[in-house]
Amino acid sequence: MRTIINISLPEQLNREIEKVMRKGRYATKSEFLRELIREKLEEEDILAQIRKSEAEFRTGKGKVLRSLKDLR
């Protein structure tokens, strides 16, 4: 199921999106914005994982690897 939302964009930003669309990567602004949102959500997830790993390392739960063999 889809939800329809409306957004307003500054004209310059709209023109930049249209330039990207003319290059053929996206057929619609919706496709462009969906991908942008997915990328941002993935980025946030990765950053959360990094923060968690850093916290674990600070509390002594991490392991310093000196070579790829240490991964085992």
Q: What is the pLDDT of residue 22?
A: 95
Q: pLDDT by residue (tens digit) across 33-54?
A: 999 999 999 999 999 999 999 9
The answer to whether position 2 is within a domain reads no
b/e burial code for range 51-68 (CB count within 10 A of at least 16 → b):
eeeeeeeeeeeeeeeeee
The answer to whether position 50 is within a domain reads yes
The answer to whether position 67 is within a domain reads no
Cβ-Cβ contacts under 8 Å for 21 (sequence gap 6 or more): 27, 28, 29, 32
Which residue range(s) make up the domain with 16? 11-60
The answer to whether position 39 is within a domain reads yes
The answer to whether position 1 is within a domain reads no
The answer to whether position 65 is within a domain reads no
The share of the chain scoring above pLDDT 90, in percent, equals: 76
Q: Which two tokens stand for residue 61?
A: 């739960």
Q: Kindly state the helix (H) or strand (E) to which residue 13 belongs, with its residue range.
A: helix 11-22
Give the number of domains in the chain. Answer: 1
Among 39, 43, 44, 63, residue whose Cα is nearest residue 53: 63
Q: Is the pLDDT of residue 71 over 80?
A: no
